[in-house]
């Protein structure tokens, strides 16, 4: 079994998995019983969209717009806690449990004929799969860390302070994702930051 040297395979698998996970989250989030604040989230989103249009039409000032934006981030996160929980559970279930019991493959990896192994070509433990999740899936999926932290801190911080922290978390993890991609692209073994932390690698299934 050879070390994966074709990043395009991993990228396509990543995109496929992002689609599958977002579809799962979308379907589950629409269940009223599991997401009781979903309608309130839609309401604040509609209010924010109206503010965006007003700002574009110069009906409100830049200062007013940014104040509305702070409030929106705060309210949307509060009403989005159920979805965030669903997101975190879905990510760990898909990339952790499912991948573990599907012999190192997500649906995307299975389609692209690649899999995750340890650096000595053994099957990773569930702990390694979960550890691998924490610093990965930043750009399309976001990271579980910002989602989990924001769902807690939104209830103990002011709207102004929370918006600053939220931006730091989101953009910070996007930067980490870019760094991980650079690491993966530049290394001969094509291991990203998440692989280095978890002691794993992605290989071609022969």
Q: What is the dihedral sign for C-alpha 92, 77, 175, 145?
A: negative
Please, are residues 132 and 95 in contact by the beta-carbon 8 Å criterion? yes
Query: 11-46: per-residue pLDDT in tens?
Result: 899 889 988 988 888 888 777 777 788 888 889 999
* Better pLDDT: 125 or 86: 125
Phi then psi for residue 168, to 5 deg, are -60, -45
Check residue 137 and give its pLDDT.
56
Check residue 104 and give its pLDDT.
94
Check residue 140 and give its pLDDT.
52
């Amino acid at each position: 079994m050879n070390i994966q040297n074709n990043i395009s395979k991993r990228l396509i698998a990543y995109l496929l998995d992002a689609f599958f996970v977002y579809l799962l989250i979308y379907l589950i989030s629409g269940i009223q019983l599991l997401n009781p604040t979903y309608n309130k989230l839609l309401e604040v989103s509609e209010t924010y969209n109206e503010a965006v249009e007003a700002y574009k039409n110069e009906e409100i000032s830049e200062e007013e717009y940014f104040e509305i934006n702070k409030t929106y981030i705060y309210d949307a996160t509060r009403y989005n806690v159920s979805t965030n929980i669903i997101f975190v559970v879905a990510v760990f279930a898909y990339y952790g449990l499912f991948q573990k019991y599907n012999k190192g493959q997500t649906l995307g990896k299975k389609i692209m004929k690649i899999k995750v192994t340890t650096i000595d070509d053994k099957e990773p433990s569930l702990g390694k799969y979960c550890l691998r999740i924490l610093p990965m899936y930043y750009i399309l999926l976001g990271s579980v860390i910002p989602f989990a932290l924001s769902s807690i801190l939104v209830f103990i911080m002011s709207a102004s302070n929370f918006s600053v922290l939220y931006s730091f978390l989101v953009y910070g993890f996007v930067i980490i994702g870019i760094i991980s991609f650079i690491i993966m692209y530049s290394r001969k073994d094509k291991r990203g930051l998440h692989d280095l932390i978890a002691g794993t690698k992605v290989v071609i299934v022969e």
